[in-house]
Amino acid sequence: MPFGLIKHGLAKTYPFRRDIPAPHELKDSYDVVIIGGGGHGLATAYYLAQKFGIDNVAVLEKGYLGGGNTGRNTAIIRSNYLTTEGVRFYDESVRLYRELSNELDFNILYSERGHLTLAHTDSALRSMRWRAEVNKHLGVESELVFPDDIAKLCSCLNLSDDVRYPILGALYHAPGAIARHDAVAWGYAAGASRHGVELHQETEVLSMDISDNAVTGIVTNRGRIKCGYIVQAVAGFSSLLSKMAGFQLPIRTIPLQACVSQPLKPILDPIVVSGSLHVYVSQSDRGEFVMGGSTDPYPLYSTRSSLEFMEGLMAHILELFPFLSETKVLRQWAGMADMTPDFAPIMGLSPVSNYYIDAGWGTWGFKATPVCGLRMAELVATGIVPDVLRPFALGRFSAFDLVGEKGAASVGH
């Protein structure tokens, strides 16, 4: 029994500390306003205060903390990307994640389970090799493995040839991990709040005052506030918010659905992904199978569920794990994915002088939470775009400097 729990059990009063502060009034003005109280916004706030000493910061969240895509993703963390820029960026994130529970003094349940991306065609095998070679070259643990090794890594996987798409090989990424997504948001929220950041839930941004190409004020449902700098971190609503700030983003917003099974005793250790079958699956610490697939076939601002998604996903899950046929689905849900043309995010400067963007997170945002928070905070604090963010500038779309990450998206989109 860990000391923390013994101490707790013997304490007379509850609790030792409050993670999320009670609601309070908005001030008239903040040095930095972060729009969006998800993982990215809260991480940015945390590092601004903790690392750069900027604590006159407000995080505005229209709903509840972590209620957007932070609380809707399937919580997979990996750095086995395709481009040098991508691998470096996500590798820094993985390194921060590994230390995060201790950094935040909040257990985010970070579990390195290993990550298998299955290849069912020779072209998929080629792109797995490409990723493995790039990863290894940059010091990230990835390798191409074949069915005999896969059987050892994931004994419950159906490796039979007698299926529509037999498994020819896989990209194995040992550091691949899952975490409790909510806990990441809460840990950063608690940390930011301990360092003086104000967290305002149920506070929606309605419009912005713009003069001389700068945002001077933000109108919320709780009144108008002034601000020095603004960071937008509102995955799923990025285009709508940037429109308020007066510029456009090359983003199409498409629902991405996911589901969980009822809890089962542990049977699946690694995270298993198949691009050809449009499936990713892992088993959570609670025992639920957490499953996702490709984005919906058309753009839509809605988190409704669809039956077709479940039918297709389950058919493919059973091709990989036929023994789950009598297992039951507990719940399905959807998030909204801001898809960019090159499947890479948009971070850094915007056309508005005091307005920074953190957007275009498609289906890959959760795993970038720590590095994005840290580097966006650095950008706000220093005014200089950190090297690791530089390739992801908004300007790349007009300059034809894309970061081609489509080949490393977990499943086809």
Q: For other proteins, which residue of 4, 223, 297, 383 counts as binding (CB under 8 A)? A: 4
The alpha carbon of 9 is separated from its chain's Cα centroid by a whole number of angstroms, namely: 34
CA distance linking residue 47 with residue 347, whole number of Å:
16
Report the site for other proteins in 71-90 (rule: CB under 8 A).
71, 84
CB of 140 to other proteins, least distance (A): 13
Residue 382 CB burial class (10 angstroms; 0-12, 13-18, ≥19): exposed
DSSP-derived 3-state class of residue 176: coil
CB of 208 to other proteins, least distance (A): 25
Strand partners, 16: none
Report the site for other proteins in 289-308 (rule: CB under 8 A).
304-307
CB of 397 to other proteins, least distance (A): 9
**Residues 218 and 209 sit within 8 Å (Cβ to Cβ):** yes
Q: For other proteins, which residue of 51, 55, 56, 67 counts as binding (CB under 8 A)? A: 67
303 to 17, 26, 162, 286, 366: CA distances (angstroms): 34, 30, 37, 25, 18
241 to 173, 215, 289, 301: CA distances (angstroms): 36, 13, 34, 14
Measured from the CB atom, the residue of 263 and 383 that comes closer to other proteins is 263
Report the site for other proteins in 335-364 (rule: CB under 8 A).
341-342
CA distance linking residue 179 with residue 181, whole number of Å:
6
CB of 233 to other proteins, least distance (A): 19
Report the site for other proteins in 97-116 (rule: CB under 8 A).
99, 101-102, 106-112
The alpha carbon of 344 is separated from its chain's Cα centroid by a whole number of angstroms, namely: 12
Measured from the CB atom, the residue of 18 and 243 that comes closer to other proteins is 18
Q: For other proteins, which residue of 323, 353, 383, 412 counts as binding (CB under 8 A)? A: 323
CA distance linking residue 134 with residue 136, whole number of Å:
6
Measured from the CB atom, the residue of 319 and 358 that comes closer to other proteins is 319
Residue span binding other proteins (CB under 8 A) among the ranges 41-49, 207-215, 241-249, 322-330? 322-330
Binding flag, residue 272, other proteins (CB under 8 A)? no
CA distance linking residue 135 with residue 17, whole number of Å:
41
Helices (H), 26-161: 39-50, 84-104, 122-137, 147-153
CA distance linking residue 184 with residue 103, whole number of Å:
11
CB of 17 to other proteins, least distance (A): 8
| Buried b or exposed e, range 159-180, using 16+ CB within 10 angstroms | eeeeeebebbbbbbbbbbbbbb
Binding flag, residue 56, other proteins (CB under 8 A)? no
Binding flag, residue 319, other proteins (CB under 8 A)? yes
Nearest in space to 58 (alpha carbons), one of 82, 78, 28, 79: 28
Residues composing the chain = 413
Measured from the CB atom, the residue of 36 and 71 that comes closer to other proteins is 71
Binding flag, residue 407, other proteins (CB under 8 A)? yes
CB of 196 to other proteins, least distance (A): 16
Binding flag, residue 62, other proteins (CB under 8 A)? no
Residue span binding other proteins (CB under 8 A) among the ranges 45-53, 211-219, 284-292, 353-361? 284-292
Measured from the CB atom, the residue of 164 and 224 that comes closer to other proteins is 164
Measured from the CB atom, the residue of 212 and 400 that comes closer to other proteins is 400
Q: For other proteins, which residue of 22, 152, 161, 298 counts as binding (CB under 8 A)? A: 22
CB of 51 to other proteins, least distance (A): 20
Q: For other proteins, which residue of 126, 224, 243, 390 counts as binding (CB under 8 A)? A: 126
Structure tokens at 220: 């919320």
CB of 28 to other proteins, least distance (A): 25
Q: For other proteins, which residue of 51, 151, 194, 201 counts as binding (CB under 8 A)? A: 201
Binding flag, residue 147, other proteins (CB under 8 A)? no
Phi-psi sector, 230: left (phi>0), alpha (psi -120 to 50), beta: beta
Measured from the CB atom, the residue of 229 and 284 that comes closer to other proteins is 284
Binding flag, residue 265, other proteins (CB under 8 A)? yes
